[in-house]
């Protein structure tokens, strides 16, 4: 809890309890979705991604998607659903839920995949699958980087596991998730790069390609190995 909500909550508990106990509890303890706690400091990702970008990205952008998602699930009666269930089943016309559920899940995957001391290569299981699909790990990086570089406007590039068990490189617009049925190439996201300008503009400005190559210095294959293994069922 940040300091302001702590103060608000304390004020309600100490001053408002007798008058409106239900408001006390509806205002606190009810955030269903939380951002993962980062095991590193924001400056630890330097020089690949600068401290200020990481901090604003996590504390402002990611927080805003998370807060809005929590608001949306309360209003839409989706309290007991997992984020994956919400995304797979969402009404695509509900743009508030679509943007914020996608934004939450995409950013969770992104921040969980980055480490200042990453495992730099996938394990044998995933590495073999990458070789089969793309030829080699280096070829995969080349194709993935090209996909990320050519996302027009704001969006994401992904390594996904398709329903048929094969890997693919795909892209989504805005905060759409590969889990959404409306996207061109659906699948389970194993890892993704955020190519919204807020993810790199302070350090790289219009040099998106440099940011993409820096991203690979932080990408931790340990968690991606794990996601792939789980996706194998």
Instruction: Summarize as ranges the residues that interact with Mn ion (CB under 5 A).
Output: 61, 194, 196, 199
Tell me the residue length of the chain: 233
Whichever of 104 and 134 has its CB closer to Mn ion, that residue is 104
Whichever of 155 and 187 has its CB closer to Mn ion, that residue is 155
Task: Find the shortest distance in angstroms from Cβ 144 to Mn ion.
Answer: 18
156 exposure class (CB count in 10 Å sphere: 0-12, 13-18, 19+): buried
Element (H, E) at 161: strand 155-161
Whichever of 61 and 74 has its CB closer to Mn ion, that residue is 61
Q: At what angle do helices 124-134 and 137-149 cross, to 10 degrees?
A: 70
Question: Under a CB-based contact definition with an 8 Å cutoff, are residues 202 and 100 in contact?
Answer: no
Task: Find the shortest distance in angstroms from Cβ 33 to Mn ion.
Answer: 16
Question: Phi and psi (nearest 5°) for 81?
Answer: -95, 145
Task: Find the shortest distance in angstroms from Cβ 195 to Mn ion.
Answer: 9
Number of neighbouring beta carbons within 10 Å of residue 77: 8
- Cis status of the peptide bond prior to 6, with omega within 30 of 0: no
Task: Find the shortest distance in angstroms from Cβ 57 to Mn ion.
Answer: 6
Task: Find the shortest distance in angstroms from Cβ 72 to Mn ion.
Answer: 18
Task: Find the shortest distance in angstroms from Cβ 200 to Mn ion.
Answer: 10
Whichever of 110 and 228 has its CB closer to Mn ion, that residue is 110
Tokens of 192: 């993704």
Tokens of 229: 């293994």
Whichever of 175 and 188 has its CB closer to Mn ion, that residue is 175
Whichever of 105 and 147 has its CB closer to Mn ion, that residue is 105
Tokens 């699958």 correspond to 129
Torsion angle of alpha carbons 118, 120, 121, 122, nearest 10°? 10
Nearest-CB residue for Mn ion: 194
Distance of CA 195 to the CA centre of its chain: 12
């Amino acid at each position: 809890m940040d300091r302001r909500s702590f103060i608000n909550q304390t004020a309600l508990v100490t001053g408002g309890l007798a008058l409106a106990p239900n408001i006390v509890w509806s205002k606190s303890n009810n955030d269903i979705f939380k951002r993962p706690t980062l095991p590193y400091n924001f400056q630890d990702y330097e020089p690949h991604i600068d401290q200020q970008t990481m901090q604003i990205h996590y504390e402002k952008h990611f927080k805003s998607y998370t807060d809005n998602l929590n608001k949306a699930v309360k209003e839409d009666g989706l309290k007991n659903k997992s984020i994956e269930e919400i995304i797979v089943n969402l009404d695509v016309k509900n743009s508030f839920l679509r943007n914020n559920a996608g934004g939450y899940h995409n950013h969770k995957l992104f921040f969980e995949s980055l480490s200042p001391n990453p495992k730099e290569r996938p394990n044998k299981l995933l590495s073999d699958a990458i070789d089969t699909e793309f030829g080699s790990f280096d070829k995969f990086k080349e194709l993935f980087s090209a996909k990320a570089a050519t996302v027009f406007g704001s969006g994401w590039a992904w390594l996904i596991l398709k329903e048929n068990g094969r890997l693919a490189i795909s892209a989504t617009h805005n905060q759409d998730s590969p889990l959404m049925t409306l996207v061109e190439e659906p699948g389970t996201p194993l890892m993704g790069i955020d190519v919204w300008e807020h993810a790199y503009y302070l350090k790289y400005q219009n040099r998106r390609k440099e940011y993409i190559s820096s991203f690979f210095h932080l990408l931790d294959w340990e968690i991606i190995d794990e996601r792939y293994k789980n996706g194998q069922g």
